[in-house]
A = this chain, B = another copy of it.
């Protein structure tokens, strides 16, 4: 039996998704819970990793088991053995051909930037941006440049540079008062790509680089002078589309 699970987690207290020796990660906590239920070591396969501090509301993973446990029972069984900062919102039995990573058609991320007064209650959940000279029109224009298929080699910290072509299907920005939400959907993302894209748009919106600089860099020819990335606490993995 192959089980597909959708889960949420608060990334604050995790060293990212992937198992690391002696560090608390989402994967190791979930695999610990599964060991308690299934009585043997089970590896889970996520749609992709997330970094330390990054949150998820719609992460997906799969695992195989000989046990045939009913949908809701499996969900409750896992949740009752998980720490409070991870929650399985859905489980279902899927075809053996389903793979959380390779079957994914696209992923949706949200990023929250707050230009208002610091609120300690949101400190782990938004990026408090202290820049006051941000041109939102240019910010949106810069974001739009990333839409479509590009070579994102200069917008990533990936070590593996074999295939750096990705397609962004949708990128938009919603502003309510001082809070900015960036919505980005694409067929795949390189390491740190979302946080670098938004940091780059912010640099343009502050007049530190031009839209032309971004275009040149997106063509894969010249890297940006000082590629930055935004902190992880504003980033949410929202949905995996299959």
Contact = CB atoms under 8 A, between A and B. Distances in A.
Contacts of A119: 8, 57, 87
A10 interface: yes
A84 B8 contact: no
A86 B10 contact: no
A85 to B, nearest CB: 5
A47 interface: no
Contact of A10 (B55, B87, B121): B121
Indicate how many identical chains form the complex.
2
Nearest to A117: B89
Report, as a range, how many residues of chain A touch the other chain.
10 to 19
Interface in A41-57: 55, 57
A118 B75 CA distance: 13
A10 B85 contact: no
Interface centre among A9, A117, A118, A121 (most CB of B within 10 A): A121
A192 B84 CA distance: 25
A10 B12 CA distance: 15
Contacts of A215: none
A184 B123 CA distance: 26
B8 A85 contact: no
B85 A9 contact: no
Contact of A123 (B55, B85, B89, B123): B85
Contacts of A85: 120, 123
Given A57-B119, A57-B121, 6 more contacts: A8-B121, A10-B120, A10-B123, A84-B123, A86-B120, A87-B120
7 contacts: A8-B119, A8-B121, A10-B121, A55-B121, A57-B119, A84-B123, A86-B120
Closest 9 CB pairs of A and B: A10-B120, A85-B120, A10-B121, A87-B120, A87-B118, A84-B123, A8-B120, A9-B120, A55-B121
